[in-house]
Amino acid sequence: MRLRSSSAAYLRHAGDLADNPGQQAAYDSQGHCVVLAGPGSGKTKTLILKLARMLAEDVRVPQGVACITYSQECARELKRRLEPLGLGEAQNLFVGTVHGFCLRHILMPYAHLADIGLPRRLAVATNRQADVAFKVVAERLFGLNQPHKRDDMGRYRRVHLDREAPDWEADPDLARISEGYEATLRRQGLIDYDDMVVCAHRLVSAHDWVLPAIAARWPILAVDEYQDLGVPLHRIVTRLAFEGGVRLFAVGDADQSVYGFAGSDGDLLLELAERHDIQRVRLELNYRCAGRIIEASEYALGETRGYRPYDEERLAVIRFVERPGGLADQAAYVIDTLIPEALAAKDERKLGDIAILYRNAAVGNAFADALMAAGIDFVRVDTGAPYRKVELTSWIEDCAGWCSGGWRRGRPQLDGLLTRWVRFRTSLSSEREANKAKNLVTAFLMRNRRDDGPAAPFVAAIRRDLVDPLAREEPSLHDQMEQVHRMGAAVTAGGKLEGLDLVGLGGRDGSPSHINLLTLHSSKGCEYDVVMMVGMDQGVIPWNNESGAELRESRRLFYVGLTRARDAVHLIYSGWIDGRYGPRTFGRSSFVEELETRLLAAGQE
């Protein structure tokens, strides 16, 4: 078989999988395959090489492979890992979020051909538009003091998918709000974020003709972080795979299912893996964590998984630290003691090899303020961040990275930036128009190359010349423009990122010179030499009064944090938290208490 040269680069790396039977089995799979991959098990490398092989051997342009994942950060990392194989922006490879795939490759091409109640030209509501619509409907139905939240409605819509089924009225109030809210958006010609998946499910489940249309364009569907994707996507995937003839390659870990509040369910992955018509592969070798961290993580999870360290000789540090002065005391200890120790412990270790993880943005605020006061650069990923990562803000960041020296290194690749730009523009109808759009971007990037300088003028220029005109032509990007506005405000005078330079903007997703500040949820899929889990107090993790499924999910979240570390984990607590009426003394996290007890007992055996 003759392989396309742009795709054959994967063969130089394929031999790396031979020593791992699980990775090799996944790589060699021919039909539907589910890979159950523990932390640090090399699942991303396996997925990347499998994508490259399927593109080279199993499809031909215009057919392609679609790879969907939960978050923009995960999609961006996959694209980075594909670039060395020449596939960062291959024309017949889609790598993006679930919502992006549903919008661009299910709803936009096919929704107007089916009667599912959507406007012909899809425009996505901004967060503010969605908030206003919800508030108006909820208050009209239940008065000014109505008790319902938009998040509750969103979760209800994602779980109760069949409007004709009896369970649609399981909560009559939320059902009525949902119907009124959707009608309000439709009158404005809008859909919201949840509509992208819910309506795609409605289209795929009710219209058989859609299945061969999608299969003709995307005969192979890969799903990363399957445990995070929820009921609507699970039903879309199973319908396409088992009734539509699409080949499925799914990767995930039910132990890292931590988005139950958003409707995800790790049991769906296990249910999928139990099917008789799917090859099930388990990855058990952990390349990331030292053995003691693996041992601690299984104690934290409360279940034995049998994961083994790749390097059995590596030593690890697990330290339990009480700082009784609260978050300010914890932050001072991290800055004055732990960060210098971590940097000194290993030659060439940088700030980017260290992460501070926490349960919520309120804890993150205390550490962001302290790091800023100490003059330590950091990247923050949580709801307290100046703007949210979406495709457009990530593209602007990567353009900044290219202009501030990336053009010399070839990372990010110019071709990738141009291809991503063209994919934003659904209105382009010819190759000539696409080339014209690419030339416009190339000219902008070439005249904005510089080694230093502030980020604010660059953001203003790229918005004026490229992004704002794009948004006027593409209503489907209106919700993303909300984050672009926030980016612009953040880098200007008085903003949270005032004074940020172009190099810093290009490294906003993490760079060697920035310490990483993330929620435990945002840390999923990341890895660092040293992890500092802060605010580990009862009443925060777990929350007070958690039980059942909620408590199990908090335990999994704690497990996720531990398994981000290669060499060292520091668990830092105060024994009390701030309450509405003053300090509340609940002690340190029960997870921390249990973990230290079990590690001490194991050390005495």
Q: Annotated binding site, which residues?
A: 37-44
Binding residues for ATP: 37-44
φ and ψ at 162, to 5 degrees?
-95, 110
Reduced to 3 states (helix: H, G, I; strand: E, B; else coil), residue 496 is coil
Would you tell me the crossing angle of helices 455-462 and 478-491 to the nearest 10 degrees? 150
Reduced to 3 states (helix: H, G, I; strand: E, B; else coil), residue 37 is strand
In whole angstroms, what is the distance from residue 11 CA to residue 302 CA?
40
Inter-residue contact 49 to 27 (CB < 8 Å): yes
* CA distances from residue 193 to 122, 123, 163, 323 in whole angstroms, order as listed: 12, 11, 19, 41
Query: Which of 233, 352, 244, 243 lies closest to 252 in space, CA to CA?
Result: 233
Report how far apart the first and last C-alpha atoms of the chain are (Å, whole number).
57
In whole angstroms, what is the distance from residue 255 CA to residue 552 CA?
10
Counting every residue written for the chain, the total comes to 605
Query: Which of 539, 463, 468 lies closest to 505 in space, CA to CA?
Result: 463
DSSP classification of residue 582 = E
| Phi/psi-derived region of residue 348, left when phi > 0, alpha when psi is between -120 and 50, beta in every other case | left
Per-residue tokens: 81: 């890992």
Residue environment code for 144-164, b if the CB has 16+ CB neighbours within 10 A, otherwise e: eeeebebeebbbbbbebbeee
Inter-residue contact 279 to 33 (CB < 8 Å): yes
The 3-state secondary structure of 47-112, one letter per residue: HHHHHHHHHHHCCCCCCCEEEEECCHHHHHHHHHHHHHHCCCCCCCEEEEEHHHHHHHHHHHHHHH
| Phi/psi-derived region of residue 163, left when phi > 0, alpha when psi is between -120 and 50, beta in every other case | alpha
Q: How far is CA 85 from the centre of its chain?
A: 22
Q: Around Cβ 407, how many Cβ atoms within 10 Å? A: 16
The 3-state secondary structure of 219-269, one letter per residue: CEEEECCHHHCHHHHHHHHHHHHHCCCCEEEEEECHHHCCCHHHCCCCHHH
Query: Which of 267, 270, 211, 213 lies closest to 242 in space, CA to CA?
Result: 211
Percent helix, strand, coil in the chain (nearest 5)? 55, 15, 35
Contacts for 148 with CB less than 8 Å, ≥ 6 apart: 138, 142, 173, 174, 177
Cross-strand bridge partners of residue 200: none
- Side-chain-facing half-sphere of 350: CA atoms under 13 Å: 8
Residue type, 187: R
In whole angstroms, what is the distance from residue 267 CA to residue 235 CA?
13
